[in-house]
């Protein structure tokens, strides 16, 4: 094999190797390409990227004002946020803080009320400190969540709900 | 015609040495014929290895219920059977033919890069050992199917790493082999051997080699992503980390569809050599054969989606892949009609290579038609992952690629060995193969249409009858391959001297310019092609 031919062979090999490296790069380039194509065609939901909630009515919002009252108990009880804005069907978590300022443990039950009062049946709670009695030790502070949504069935003119909790001491809880 | 080395050929020091003998000859050989022989024997060994797995599968499926193997091992069998047959048997066998024939058919002395050629072959061996040895590690061999789909493949044990490494090595070997083949064809053709005078086997391999260097790196990338997903905390395909298993299917089948043409295009070349030889007529429509092969290769890059009609694509995507897939029937049809036209009014004789070639045309066409059925999206949605698919791809790969490999082996054995094989034994091998094959795989169309899923070790009772027939056919087919092994060995050891051109109609350079057996160094002075 003469030198000229060997050089020509090496040149051909180099060209072919460039194709190989380019195709290896193309294989990896398919990763971002795939994402982009799925997103631009709007078929991202065919990818398993977490279950989408189809119950959310994104066309409107409801403001829920969070009100806390400790009634006759000398507790400090407050919502950590003044209000939340949410879409009907959207699950939200809000937190309340309670501090027992008494020198003794107290067992109390929180009672919910809403304004307007008919809004109560559209508040769907999945977790709430009001589901059970709360026994708070002397001087203890506690952060307590409420997980809820406003039902998509709520009437359209219901744009603001006041969600209020009042703690009432249970009879005989004082020790 | 063995020419003496011309005086100016002093650079070619390979030839100056005496041939090493024994193991060293085969370990260090840079001779294209030696390497071709190594590839062919290796492929035959892997063919029997994968065949044993196939027979274990068919033994288990002979009756409903679990008789011989547990389901995990069954899954490993189907997976490694596929990998071994694709990467260990069919592809190396074609590379073996390419090594033997391409230099002789274009009038070159050897391949362009003889040392790289040696390395290409000896890489394949450790890869095959890795694949087969993965049966013996904890957790058993890869059980995800040969397509290596995540998430299953990400969860299995160390055998997956062995499989991935094997695929990497095989890919490197294929790429080196392809670079060698392309360079040989482009740069080492004898004077007068223009591209459009090349035998079709050379043409089909040129196009196949381009397919290989285009898609093997993509497969390497895909399995690298699997590897980093498994061990290095990436999430290409892991949904828990924001990845997407569906993306693997897209990348894999972007490789996978050209890959199936990599296995079948050289078959077209072999059949295009044999049909004219035994019809004693030149090939009908040579140029259209070349263009059809190129069209099939180009189309193979835009049809991968037909492997994934049910995974979730927009309707427009499904339609595009459906029509593009059907388009492939056009160039393939051109080929089939050209072969038939070549036989038309020819003086045909039916020696074993011709029988296997005609068997190829009939049965490959059935596989092509079932492929068209599967290409119809709504039909595919009902029969995907059923035995109909298994029947389809065995018709194109066994009676397509494998039958033409046998045709080529019988056709060129006289040139390789200088001896004639036993014609009656060859015909017996053909008839047992074609009967066994059809008993094994034709009923699988019925099973698939009736809804039997693929890759299961047990099945509902209504599938029992055809599975029994399929298993009987598989055992007839499997054991009749021992006849081929016997015939090859008997041929090598026999004293029936083959003529330089034992076939009346064969007219390529290896028949017209070289004695049988082809000398160790051929065409050191290039022939002049008129």
- The whole-number pLDDT of residue B10 equals 40
Beta strands A62-69 and A160-169 are parallel
Taking 70 as the threshold, does the pLDDT of residue B2 lie above it?
no
Taking 60 as the threshold, does the pLDDT of residue B11 lie above it?
no
Q: What is the mean pLDDT of residues A162-166?
A: 91
pLDDT digits (tens, 9 = 90+) for A19-36: 999 999 999 999 999 888
Q: Say if B353 falls within a structural domain.
A: yes
Instruction: Compute how many other C-beta atoms are within 10 angstroms of the C-beta atom of residue A109.
Output: 16
DSSP for B269-291, please give it. HHHHHHHHHHHTSPPTTHHHHHH
Structural domain harbouring B479: 44-512
Nearest CA in chain B to A26: B218
Set of chain A residues whose Cβ sits within 8 Å of the Cβ of B108: none
Taking 90 as the threshold, does the pLDDT of residue A172 lie above it?
no
CA A172 to chain centre: 38
Q: Say if B526 falls within a structural domain.
A: no
Alpha-carbon gap, residue B354 to B179, rounded angstroms: 31
**Using the beta-carbon criterion (under 8 Å), do B178 and A16 form an inter-chain contact?**
yes
Taking 80 as the threshold, does the pLDDT of residue B209 lie above it?
yes
- Greater pLDDT, B151 or B47: B47
Predicted confidence band at B425 (pLDDT cuts at 50, 70, 90)?
A: very high
Q: Say if B490 falls within a structural domain.
A: yes
- The whole-number pLDDT of residue B6 equals 42
- The whole-number pLDDT of residue A29 equals 95
Highest mean pLDDT among A32-36, A57-61, A110-114, B376-380: B376-380
Nearest to B218 among A2, A6, A23 (CB): A23
- The whole-number pLDDT of residue B22 equals 84
Q: Say if B36 falls within a structural domain.
A: no
Q: Give chain B's mean pLDDT.
A: 93
Taking 80 as the threshold, does the pLDDT of residue B490 lie above it?
yes
Q: Say if B370 falls within a structural domain.
A: yes
- The whole-number pLDDT of residue B118 equals 96
Set of chain B residues whose Cβ sits within 8 Å of the Cβ of A3: 11
Set of chain A residues whose Cβ sits within 8 Å of the Cβ of B225: 28, 31
- The whole-number pLDDT of residue A35 equals 86
**Using the beta-carbon criterion (under 8 Å), do A20 and B213 form an inter-chain contact?**
yes
Cβ-Cβ contacts under 8 Å between A and B: the total is 87
Domain containing B107 — which CATH number? 1.20.210.10
- On whether any CB of chain B is under 8 Å from the CB of A8, the answer is yes
Q: Of A44-53, B145-154, B237-246, B269-278, which gets the smallest average pLDDT?
A: A44-53
- The whole-number pLDDT of residue B520 equals 93
**Chain B interface disruption, residue of A24, A35, A46, most B CBs within 10 A:** A24
Predicted confidence band at B1 (pLDDT cuts at 50, 70, 90)?
A: very low
Among B47, B46, B24, B48, which residue's Cα sits nearest to residue B34? B24
Q: What is the mean pLDDT of residues A116-125?
A: 90
Nearest to A23 among B8, B217, B314 (CB): B217
Q: Say if B176 falls within a structural domain.
A: yes
Q: Residue B103 class from Cβ within 10 Å (0-12 exposed, 13-18 middle, 19+ buried)?
A: buried
Judged by DSSP in three states, B161 sits in helix
- Tell me the shortest Cα–Cα distance from A27 to chain B, in angstroms: 5
- The whole-number pLDDT of residue B5 equals 41
ipTM: 0.88
Those residues whose C-beta lies under 8 Å from the C-beta of residue B323, and which sit 6 or more positions away, are none
CA B241 to chain centre: 37
DSSP for B426-450, please give it. HHHHHHHHHHHHHHHHHHHHHHHHT
- The whole-number pLDDT of residue B429 equals 97
Q: Say if B39 falls within a structural domain.
A: no
- The whole-number pLDDT of residue B395 equals 97
B230 part of the active site: no
- The whole-number pLDDT of residue A174 equals 55
Alpha-carbon gap, residue A60 to B33, rounded angstroms: 77
Predicted confidence band at B9 (pLDDT cuts at 50, 70, 90)?
A: very low
B392 part of the active site: no
Predicted confidence band at A108 (pLDDT cuts at 50, 70, 90)?
A: confident
pLDDT digits (tens, 9 = 90+) for B255-267: 999 999 999 999 9
Taking 90 as the threshold, does the pLDDT of residue B515 lie above it?
yes
Predicted confidence band at B12 (pLDDT cuts at 50, 70, 90)?
A: very low
Alpha-carbon gap, residue A88 to B414, rounded angstroms: 82
Alpha-carbon gap, residue A18 to A93, rounded angstroms: 56
In chain B, the N- to C-terminal Cα span, in Å, equals 17
Predicted confidence band at B4 (pLDDT cuts at 50, 70, 90)?
A: very low
Number of domains comprising chain B? 1
- The whole-number pLDDT of residue A104 equals 85
Alpha-carbon gap, residue B92 to A33, rounded angstroms: 33
Those residues whose C-beta lies under 8 Å from the C-beta of residue B527, and which sit 6 or more positions away, are B1, B107, B190, B509, B513
B423 part of the active site: no
Predicted confidence band at B8 (pLDDT cuts at 50, 70, 90)?
A: very low
Q: Say if B179 falls within a structural domain.
A: yes
């Amino acid at each position: 094999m003469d030198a000229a031919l060997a050089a020509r062979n090496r040149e051909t090999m180099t060209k072919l190797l460039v194709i190989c490296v380019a195709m290896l790069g193309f294989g990896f380039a398919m990763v971002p390409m795939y994402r982009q194509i799925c997103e631009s065609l709007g078929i991202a939901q065919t990818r398993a990227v977490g279950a989408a909630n189809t119950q959310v009515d994104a066309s409107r919002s409801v403001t829920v004002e969070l009100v806390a009252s400790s009634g006759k108990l000398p507790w400090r009880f407050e919502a950590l946020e003044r209000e939340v804005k949410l879409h009907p069907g959207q699950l939200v978590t809000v937190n309340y803080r309670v501090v027992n300022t008494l020198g003794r443990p107290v067992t109390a039950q929180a009672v919910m009320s809403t304004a307007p009062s008919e809004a109560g049946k559209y508040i769907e709670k999945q977790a709430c400190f009001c589901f059970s009695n709360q026994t708070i030790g002397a001087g203890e502070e506690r952060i307590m969540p409420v997980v809820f949504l406003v039902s998509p069935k709520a009437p359209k003119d219901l744009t603001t709900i006041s969600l209020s909790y009042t703690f009432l001491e249970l009879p005989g809880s004082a020790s | 015609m063995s020419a003496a080395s011309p005086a100016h050929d002093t650079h070619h020091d390979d030839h100056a040495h005496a041939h090493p003998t024994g193991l060293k000859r085969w370990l260090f050989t840079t001779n294209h014929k030696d390497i071709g022989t190594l590839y062919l024997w290796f492929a035959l060994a892997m063919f029997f290895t994968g065949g044993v797995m196939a027979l274990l599968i068919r033994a288990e499926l002979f009756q409903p219920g679990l008789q011989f193997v547990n389901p995990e091992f069954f899954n490993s069998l189907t997976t490694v059977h596929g990998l071994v047959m694709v990467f260990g048997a069919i592809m190396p066998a074609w590379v073996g033919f390419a090594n033997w024939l391409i230099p002789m058919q274009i009038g070159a002395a050897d391949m362009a890069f003889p040392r790289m050629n040696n390395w290409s072959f000896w890489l394949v061996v450790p890869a095959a050992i890795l694949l087969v040895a993965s049966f013996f590690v904890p957790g058993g061999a890869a059980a995800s199917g040969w397509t290596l789909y995540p998430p299953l493949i990400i969860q299995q044990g160390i055998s997956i790493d062995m499989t991935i490494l094997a695929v990497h090595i095989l890919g490197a070997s294929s790429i080196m082999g392809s670079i060698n083949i392309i360079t040989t064809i482009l740069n080492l053709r004898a004077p007068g051997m223009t591209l459009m005078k090349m035998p079709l086997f050379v043409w089909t391999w040129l196009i196949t080699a381009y397919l290989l260097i285009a898609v093997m790196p993509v497969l390497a990338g895909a399995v690298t992503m699997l590897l980093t997903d498994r061990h290095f905390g990436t999430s290409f395909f892991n949904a828990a980390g924001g990845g997407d298993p569906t993306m693997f299917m897209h990348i894999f089948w972007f490789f996978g569809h050209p890959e199936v043409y990599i296995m079948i295009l050289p078959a077209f070349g072999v059949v295009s050599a044999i049909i004219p030889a035994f019809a004693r007529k030149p090939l009908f429509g040579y140029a259209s054969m070349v263009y059809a092969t190129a069209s099939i290769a180009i189309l193979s890059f835009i049809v991968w989606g037909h492997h994934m009609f049910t995974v979730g694509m927009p309707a427009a995507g499904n339609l595009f892949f459906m029509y593009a897939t059907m388009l492939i029937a056009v160039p393939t049809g051109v080929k089939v009609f050209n072969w038939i036209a070549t036989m038309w009014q020819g003086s045909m004789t039916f020696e074993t290579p011709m029988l296997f070639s005609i068997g190829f045309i009939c049965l490959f066409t059935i596989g092509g038609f079932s492929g068209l059925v599967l290409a119809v999206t709504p039909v595919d949605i009902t029969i995907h992952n059923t035995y109909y698919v298994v029947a389809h791809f065995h018709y194109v790969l066994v009676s397509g690629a494998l039958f033409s490999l046998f045709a080529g082996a019988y056709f060129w054995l006289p040139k390789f060995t200088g001896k004639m094989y036993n014609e009656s034994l060859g015909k017996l091998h053909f008839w047992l193969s074609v009967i066994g094959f059809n008993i094994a795989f034709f009923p699988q169309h019925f099973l698939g249409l009736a809804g039997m899923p693929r890759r299961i070790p047990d099945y509902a009772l209504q599938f029992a009858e055809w599975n029994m027939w399929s298993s009987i056919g598989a055992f007839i087919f499997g054991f009749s391959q021992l006849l081929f092994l016997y015939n090859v060995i008997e041929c090598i050891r026999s004293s029936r001297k083959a003529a330089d051109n034992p076939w009346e109609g064969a007219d390529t350079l290896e028949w017209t310019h070289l004695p049988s057996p082809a000398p160790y160094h051929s065409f050191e002075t290039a022939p002049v092609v008129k």
